[in-house]
Amino acid sequence: MNRGEASAIAVAALGHVILFGLLSAGFAAAPNPMELKSKPIDVSLVDAVAIESAAPTAIEPPAKSIAPDTGKPSDAPPPASAEVSDPAPESPAPEKAPAAKTSDTPAPEKPKPKPASEKSDSSKTASHKAPSRKTEKSTPTKSEGKAKAKPDKPRGSRLGDDFLKGITDNGEGKSTSPRAEKISNTIVAGLADAIQRQVQPCANRITNPGPGANEITSKLRIQMNRDGSLAAKPQLRGQSGVNGENRRYAQRVAELAMSAFIACAPYDLPAEYYDVGGQGWKDIILNYKLPG
Amino acid sequence: MNLALNTDAATLSPIALFLQADWVVKLVMLGLLFASIWTWAIILTFLFRLGGVRKSIDRFEKEYRAADDIDAFYRMRGDGETAAARVFSAGVAEWRRSTKRKPVDREGTRERLGTVMGAAVANEIDQLADRLNILATVGSVAPFVGLFGTVWGIMRSFTAIAGEQSTSLAVVAPGIAEALFATAIGLFAAIPAVIAYNRYSHRINGIEARLNRFADGFHTTLSRQLDSGQ
C-alpha cells in the first residue's frame, strides 16, 4: 500500500463518516407513518359478565332479595327512615324481615358501609365519574338515606341491600355481601372507562389487518393481579360480528386485542373493586373492537 | 391518549440501528462498512492512477513519434518512469543485448524483442490491475453478506415476536428495520464496487491495447532496423 492508497483510504473513510453522520442527523429521515390520526376504540364491559362473575357468591342473595322486593311496596315508607334508627315499624313485614332487623340494629353494622364509601371517595379522585356516581348510591346506605333514597333506587335494591346484609352475616363473611351489592352497573361502567382509557394508547398502535376487521368484536377474559398486572394471558371468549368477508381476520383481530391488553399491562384501577365478592376487576370479560 | 411512537430519526438512524443489532449483525455491518471504505479508497486510487497512465502514454507516444534517433530518445526518456517508457526501454535493452555480438541472429532477435516487450506490457497491466479483484469480490460477495445479516436479524426478531406473543407492527418493525439495514450496507458497498469494476476493467483493457500497439510499432521499427542496418 503506497502513499496514494493511504490518502485514498483516509478520504473514503472521511466520506463514509460524513454520510453516516448526515443520515444519523435525520438528513434523509422518512416521515413517521405512525403519526397518523388515532381513532378511538370501543371497549365496554359485557353486561352479562358482571352477573356471571358474581354468580358464585350471589347465589343466596338473589333468591332472598325477591322476598323483600315483594314486601316492599307496602313497607317502602317505613324502612327508608327507620332502617337503622328503629326497627319497630318493620314489624308488619314478612317473616324474614325480623331476621334482618335483629342483625341490623347492632352498632357494628353501620361502620361497615362507611369504609366502603370512604374508599370510593378516594377512588373518585383516581378514577372518574363512575365512582362518583357510586358514591351517590353508597352515601344513602351510609347516612340513613331518608327520603332521597327512594327516588334513587327504582328497583328496591335499597331494601334488599341491608336485608341481605343481615342474612348473609349469619353464614358468610360480613364485608363481602355489601360490597358485592355495590359493584353495580355504574361502577362496572367506570371500570370499563378506566380500562379503555389505559388500553387506548396500545390500541392506537394497532394497524387494521384488513377491510371489515373493525366490525369484529372479541370477547376477552382478563385476569389481573392486585397491582394491576395481568395474572394470565388474556383469553378469547368468543367473537361477534364475524361474517364471510372478514372471517380470515378474526384470528388476527383476537391476537391484536390480546397483545394490546398485554402491552399496556399494569392497569391503574381502584383497589377496592379488585375482588368484591367474586366480582371486581380481578377477573373480567371485556368486549374489544378495533378502532375505525 | 395519543402515544404515537417516536420512531423517526431517533430510533431509525444508522447509529441506533447498529447499536440495537445482534452481535452477528453488528459484525456483518462492520465488515461491510470496512469493505465499503476500502472499495471507495480503491476507486479513488484508480481514478487518479488510470488517468495519469493514459496521459503519460499519450505524451510518450507523441514524443516518440517526434524523435529522430531512437538512441538519443532512449538516453532522454529511457528512465522507465512511465508504463510506455518501461516497455520502450525493455525493447531497447533487449535490442542492445542481442546486437552486441556479430553476426546477429535476426530471427532470434525478433522473437526475443517481441517476447520481452510483451512481458513488459503484461507486467505493467498486472501492476495497474492490482486490487481490481478486490472490487470484483466486494461487488459479488457484499450483497450476500448483507443478506446473511438480514436473515440472521429477522430470525432473531421472529424469535422475539414468538417470545412476546405479540404480532403488532410496533414489536416487529424495529427488528426488521435493523436487519434490513445490513442488506442496505451490503448493497451500499456492492453497487459502487460493481460499477467501478466494470468501468476500470474497460479502461485497463484500453490501456493494455494501447501499450500493445505501441510495442508492436516499436517492434516493427526495430525489426526494420535489423534488416537494413546490420
Contact A246, A212 (CB under 8 A): yes
d(CA A220, CA A198): 16
CA distances (Å), origin B81, targets A255, B77, B87: 74, 8, 10
Question: Which helix (DSSP H) or strand (DSSP E) does residue B85 occupy?
Answer: helix B83-98
Whole-number pLDDT of residue B167: 66
Q: How confident is the model at residue A13 (pLDDT cuts 50, 70, 90)?
A: very high
**Closest residue on chain B to A10 (Cα):** B41
Phi, psi of A35 (to 5 degrees): -85, 45
Q: Decide if A5 and B171 are in contact by the 8 Å CB cutoff.
A: no
Whole-number pLDDT of residue A259: 84
Grid coordinates standing for B193?
Answer: 464496487
Q: Decide if B9 and A38 are in contact by the 8 Å CB cutoff.
A: no
If you count residue pairs, one on A and one on B, with CB atoms under 8 Å apart, how many are there?
105
Whole-number pLDDT of residue B104: 76
Q: Collect all residues with Cβ–Cβ distance below 8 Å to A127 and sequence separation of at least 6.
A: A190, A191, A193, A194, A269, A270
Q: Decide if B165 and A258 are in contact by the 8 Å CB cutoff.
A: yes
Residue with the bigger pLDDT between A182 and A217: it is A217
Grid coordinates standing for A82?
Answer: 327507620
**Closest residue on chain B to A4 (Cα):** B45
Contact B115, B121 (CB under 8 A): no
Using a CB–CB cutoff of 8 Å, tell me whether A260 touches chain B: yes
User: How does pLDDT run along chain B (230 residues), one tens digit per residue?
Assistant: 333 334 444 456 777 778 877 888 889 999 999 999 999 999 999 998 898 898 999 988 888 888 878 788 888 776 767 888 888 888 888 888 888 877 778 888 889 999 999 999 999 999 888 889 999 999 999 999 999 999 988 888 888 777 777 666 777 777 788 888 889 999 999 999 999 999 999 999 999 999 999 999 999 988 888 888 65
Q: Decide if B7 and A32 are in contact by the 8 Å CB cutoff.
A: yes
Q: Where are the domains of chain B?
A: 2-228
d(CA B164, CA B145): 29
Whole-number pLDDT of residue B202: 94
**A contacts of B170 (beta carbons < 8 Å):** 34, 205, 263
Write out the residues of chain B at the interface with chain A, using a CB-CB cutoff of 8 A.
1-9, 12-16, 33, 36-45, 48-49, 164-171
Q: Decide if A207 and B169 are in contact by the 8 Å CB cutoff.
A: yes
d(CA A95, CA A286): 41
Whole-number pLDDT of residue B126: 92
Residue with the bigger pLDDT between A229 and A64: it is A229
Q: Residue A219: beta bridge partners?
A: A287
Burial profile B61-76: b = 16 or more Cβ within 10 angstroms, e = fewer: beebeeeeebeebbee
Q: Is the dihedral of CA B57, B59, B62, B67 positive or negative?
A: negative
d(CA A221, CA A284): 6
Angle at A183 between CA A181 and CA A187, to 5 degrees: 145
Give the mean model confidence (pLDDT) for residues A203-218: 78
CA distances (Å), origin B90, targets B101, B107, B115, B167: 18, 18, 10, 72
Whole-number pLDDT of residue B210: 92
Q: Decide if B13 and A32 are in contact by the 8 Å CB cutoff.
A: no
Using a CB–CB cutoff of 8 Å, tell me whether A204 touches chain B: yes
Is A58's pLDDT higher than 80? no
Is A238's pLDDT higher than 60? yes
Min Cα distance B206 → chain A (Å) is 23
CA distances (Å), origin A189, targets A196, B132, B134: 10, 74, 70
Residue with the bigger pLDDT between A212 and B222: it is B222
Whole-number pLDDT of residue B199: 93
Using a CB–CB cutoff of 8 Å, tell me whether A4 touches chain B: yes
Min Cα distance B200 → chain A (Å) is 16
DSSP reduced 3-state for B79:
coil
**B contacts of A259 (beta carbons < 8 Å):** 164-168, 171
Q: Decide if B167 and A201 are in contact by the 8 Å CB cutoff.
A: no
Contact B14, A18 (CB under 8 A): no
Residue where the block lists cell 510483451: B118
Residue A232 burial (CB count, 10 A): 11
Angle, helices A129-142 vs A185-204, to 10°: value is 160
Whole-number pLDDT of residue A45: 54
Min Cα distance B16 → chain A (Å) is 8
pLDDT digits (tens, 9 = 90+) for A129-183: 444 444 444 444 444 444 444 444 444 444 545 554 444 444 444 444 344 455 6
d(CA B124, CA B44): 19
Characterize the bridge pairing of strands A217-223 and A283-289: antiparallel
Whole-number pLDDT of residue A160: 47
Q: Which amino acid is at B157?
A: S
**B contacts of A5 (beta carbons < 8 Å):** 41-42, 45
Using a CB–CB cutoff of 8 Å, tell me whether A132 touches chain B: no
Residue with the bigger pLDDT between A64 and B128: it is B128
Burial class from Cβ neighbours inside 10 Å (0-12, 13-18, 19+) for residue A176 reads: middle
pLDDT digits (tens, 9 = 90+) for A241-276: 888 777 778 888 888 888 888 888 788 887 777 777
Q: Decide if B4 and A32 are in contact by the 8 Å CB cutoff.
A: yes
Out of B5, B44, B171, the one facing A34 most closely (by C-beta) is B5
d(CA B106, CA B5): 85
Q: How confident is the model at residue A29 (pLDDT cuts 50, 70, 90)?
A: low
DSSP reduced 3-state for B198:
helix
Out of B5, B8, B13, the one facing A23 most closely (by C-beta) is B13
Grid coordinates standing for A229?
Answer: 398486572
A 25-44 → B contacts, CB under 8 A: 25-26, 29-32, 34-35, 38, 40
The whole-model pTM stands at: 0.50
